Chains A and B, each alone.
Chain A
Amino acid sequence: MPEQNEPEKRPERGDERYRQELEELQKVDFALVELSLYLDTHPNDIQAIQQFNQLAHKRAQLAHAFELRYGPLMQFGHSFTRYPWQWKDTPWPWQV
């Protein structure tokens, strides 16, 4: 297999930068999971709701940037796709 694009080093799924950017998303998403469970039992905590909405906004931005670079995070129309269909692209989460 001829090695092409060697000097350019485009971001690629599974590489170090991919893992770093994924972790930035995982940090925000984890806080959102924690706040979701907390709000399920504290539905009147207005400060937690504000923090939840701020993080949800940040999450949308991070996920959008991540998907532009590495392809869709979600299926069934929650993410856009390029041609050809990107969903099948490796690595899958357990393969990274």
Chain B
Amino acid sequence: MHDGQWREWHPYVSPCDPCPPIKTKWYVVPPNQFIPFQPMNLPQFPLDEALRRGTLWPALYSPYPSKQKTKGG
């Protein structure tokens, strides 16, 4: 979550909330949001890596770690 694609926010916590509060919430802002029109000649992944990552261009790559896995599930 330290790749610059994540934003955090802090929901209001009421003393009357029945569940233990989640104090920090996260959402992802993928890199396509910052590219109005893809420039030509961007660096590319090697072909085997491109398939694994789902894109040919590192500039468009957005990792997503499973919340289950980080929990050790």
Contacts and interface: CB of A to CB of B under 8 A. Distances in A.
Which of B37, B47, B48 has the largest number of chain A CB atoms within 10 A? Answer: B47
B62 interface: no
Size range of the chain A interface in the assembly? 10 to 19
The interface residues of chain B, by DSSP majority, are classed as loop
B38 A27 contact: no
Interface stretch (A6-14, A41-49, A65-73): A41-49
Query: What 8 pairs across the A-B complex have the smallest Cβ distances?
Result: A34-B56, A30-B51, A27-B47, A27-B51, A45-B40, A31-B47, A27-B48, A31-B56
Interface of A: 23, 26-28, 30-31, 34-35, 38, 41-42, 45, 47-48
